[in-house]
Each structure stands twice: as structure tokens, then as C-alpha cells.
Amino acid sequence: MSMRASVSDLPIVLEEVSFASGGVTILDHISLAFATRAPAVLIGPNGAGKTTLLRLLMGLIAPVRGRVTWGGREDVEPTHRAIVFQRPVMLRRSAAGNIRYALAAAGVPRGERADRADELCALVGLNGLGRRPARKLSGGEQQRLALARALAKEPQILLLDEPTASLDPAATKAIEDVIRSIAARGIKVVMSTHDLGEARRLAGEIVLMHRGRLIENGSADTFFADPRTEEARRFIRGELLV
């Protein structure tokens, strides 16, 4: 892969960030930072605000209070960030065609797109499936294709919203392997999951949210071995946080 831009979008710093919609508070005074390190995994019950937080980190929405900075700057174009939503939309093209489309959008010269598409297919384990219509791929394969598209812009930060939701164990393992290899390339991964096991497998750091609030965050090892808050202890035990 080619060299990334020298200007960094890291660390992402949220200072007393709140977000509301339709009169409902979705994120409530969140102060947090994401820096260059192992994957950060957002966990918490449905409605905790995980997806909204990811959208905020991408810059798709702006906080109603507080501020978000990327590499110390506000209002930064999301050139060096990419997001993959839970149910990615597949273009009516082949798998490789989807990737080439993303490469074109990222400004990769036409003559380089075919080789880059092959590289990305290999990276996400879609070798040999490049010509298949994207909409005919399995759920796990589509998710891997979505990751390949996101990587086309060589992001510094990759945001993933429940990347393995509704996938079978084999497909989940394949996606997790891809996420590990992405993180190993120095890309900061911030992802959400409902699966505590997945959080244990992938997370370098954990962010536990509940009802829009940050409950606890820290290294995954410490979080799972010795959680500080009662809510974290209950969540790890599998209890419902109401």
C-alpha cells in the first residue's frame, strides 16, 4: 500500500460531547480520546449510543454540545477516515467492481485500480470472487467486501458498526481475522459489538456505554479482569442493564 498522508486525524478527542435528536439525548457529556493503539471496542446494550458515537467520530453528525477534534483540529474533512455500517449497501456490480468504484472515489488513477482491487480482495480473503456479483455474495463475504471498499481510501481510522452481527461463527472468525490484519497495519480500528466474546478477542481498549453515557473505559485486560464500576461488573456477568 502507498504511504498515507502525513497529517494525522489522531488522536480523536471528544470533550464533553452531547448529541440529541428529536428531543432525546443520545450521547450525554462524553469525554474520551482515541489514539494510535490496538482496536477500541464500544460495548453496551441496545440504545447505548454506540452507533451515534461512531457516526460522530466519522464526522457525519456534529455534537449539540462540546467538541470533537481530529489530530487537534475541528471540522476536518473525513478524508482519512472510513466507516462500515452494519448492513453495507452493495452496488450492482461485481465484487471487484465495487472496490474499483471505491478506488475511483478515493482518487486512485484508473490504471492502478485493477491491481489495487486485487490486492484488497486478497487482503480481505475474497480471492477468486472478484467477478461474482456483489449482491450474490454471502453475508460474511459482503461484509468483507465492505471492508475492502473502506480500505480503498487508505484510512488512518476505520470505524465499524457491528461488523459481525448476524454472521455465523465461521464468517465471524473470517471478519475478525481481517480486522486483526487491518489493525496490524497501523490503522486505528474503532468498532462496536454486542458480543462480549468478540470484544475479548479483538479489543485493546474497551469503552462501555449505557444510555448515552460513558460508564467505563480502559485496557481490555483490566476491564475484564477488574472492572471499576458496578455497571461494568453486571454487564460482564451478562446481566441486563436497564
Partner 1 sequence: MPTRRSLFVLAATVALVAAGPVGAQDKSIVVASTTSTQDSGLFGHILPLFKAKTGITVKVVAQGTGQALNTARRGDADVVFVHAREAEEKFIAGGFGVKRYSVMYNDFIIIGPKDDPASIKGSRNVVFALKAIKAKGAPFISRGDNSGTHIAELKLWKDAGIDIKKEAGPWYKSIGQGMGATLNVAAASGAYAMSDRGTWISFKNKADLVIAVDGDKRLFNQYGVILVNPAKHPHVKKELGQQFIDWLISDEGQKAIADYKVNGEQLFWPQRE
Which chain residues interact with partner 1 by CB under 8 A?
11, 13-15, 31-37, 40, 69, 72, 205, 214, 217-219, 222
For residue 151, CA distances in Å to 64, 179, 208 come to 30, 11, 27
Of residues 35 and 62, the one with the C-beta less far from partner 1: 35
Q: From the CB of 37, what's the least distance to partner 1, in Å?
A: 6
Of residues 13 and 241, the one with the C-beta less far from partner 1: 13
Of residues 66 and 133, the one with the C-beta less far from partner 1: 66
Q: From the CB of 103, what's the least distance to partner 1, in Å?
A: 30
Of residues 18 and 219, the one with the C-beta less far from partner 1: 219
Q: From the CB of 216, what's the least distance to partner 1, in Å?
A: 8
Q: From the CB of 217, what's the least distance to partner 1, in Å?
A: 6
Q: From the CB of 203, what's the least distance to partner 1, in Å?
A: 13
Of residues 16 and 177, the one with the C-beta less far from partner 1: 16
